[in-house]
Amino acid sequence: MLKKIDHLGIAVKSLAEAVPYYEKALGLKCEHIEEVPSQKVRTAFFACGEVHLELLEPTDPESPIAKFLEKNPAGGIHHVAFGTDDIQAQLEQASGAGVRLIHDKPFDGAGGKLVAFLHPKSTFGVLTEFCIPKPGTSTH
Ligand code: ZN
C-alpha cells in the first residue's frame, strides 16, 4: 500500500548553484549529498515536513537526468516518489493494471532505499517512483 509522498525528485544542472537557493531563499537544510551510481546522479536531500526534496544533478551525459535537462534546460520536477510498505506488490499491482514498468525489480536508490520506476508514458506524464527503506538502514 502507498503510505505517503516520500519525496519529489527535482532535476538541476548544478547542485552547487541550486542548493543555495533551497537553503538561503527557502530556509531548508541540506541533509546530505550522495552520489547514486545506478542513476548516474549526485543528489542533495532536503526535508520539508514529512516530504523530502531530492535534487538530482547528472554525473554523466548518459544519465537520465542529463536527458531530462536536454528537454527541460531550466530543470524542473523530474519524478514523484511514493513510499510503500511492499514495493514488489506495488509493481505487480501497477503492471496488472496495464502500466508499463521501467523496472520490474527494485534496485538501490539514494538514501538507503530500494526504488523502482513506472514509465511516464503509462502514468499521464508523471515519472512515478516507488520506494521503501532497505532493511537495516536509516530512513529518509
Ligand atoms: Zn527519487
pLDDT band at residue 137 using 50, 70 and 90 as cut-offs: low
Neighbour tally for 119: CB within 10 Å? 14
Instruction: Evaluate whether residue 139 is within a structural domain.
Output: no
All cell numbers assigned to 65: 537526468
Instruction: Evaluate whether residue 35 is within a structural domain.
Output: yes
Q: What is the pLDDT of residues 89-126, one digit of tens each?
A: 999 999 999 999 999 999 998 888 999 999 999 999 99
Distance (angstroms) between ligand 1 centre and the Cα of 86 equals 16
Instruction: Evaluate whether residue 52 is within a structural domain.
Output: yes
Distance (angstroms) between ligand 1 centre and the Cα of 81 equals 6
Question: How much is the pTM?
Answer: 0.91
CB 25 within 8 A of CB 43: no
Distance (angstroms) between ligand 1 centre and the Cα of 54 equals 6
Instruction: Evaluate whether residue 140 is within a structural domain.
Output: no
Instruction: Evaluate whether residue 50 is within a structural domain.
Output: yes
Q: Which structural domain range is residue 12 located in?
A: 2-133
Instruction: Evaluate whether residue 91 is within a structural domain.
Output: yes
Instruction: Evaluate whether residue 39 is within a structural domain.
Output: yes
The total domain count for the chain is 1
Distance (angstroms) between ligand 1 centre and the Cα of 96 equals 23
Residue 136 has pLDDT above 90, yes or no: no
3-state secondary structure string across the chain: CEEEEEEEEEECCCHHHHHHHHHHHCCCCEEEEEEEHHHCEEEEEEEECCEEEEEEEECCCCCHHHHHHHHCCCCEEEEEEEEECCHHHHHHHHHHCCCCECCCCCEECHHHEEEEEECHHHCCCCCEEEEEECCCCCCC
Q: What is the pLDDT of residues 19-72, one digit of tens each?
A: 999 999 999 999 999 999 988 999 999 999 999 999 999 999 999 999 999 999
Distance (angstroms) between ligand 1 centre and the Cα of 128 equals 9
Instruction: Evaluate whether residue 138 is within a structural domain.
Output: no
Instruction: Give me the CATH number covering residue 119.
Output: 3.10.180.10
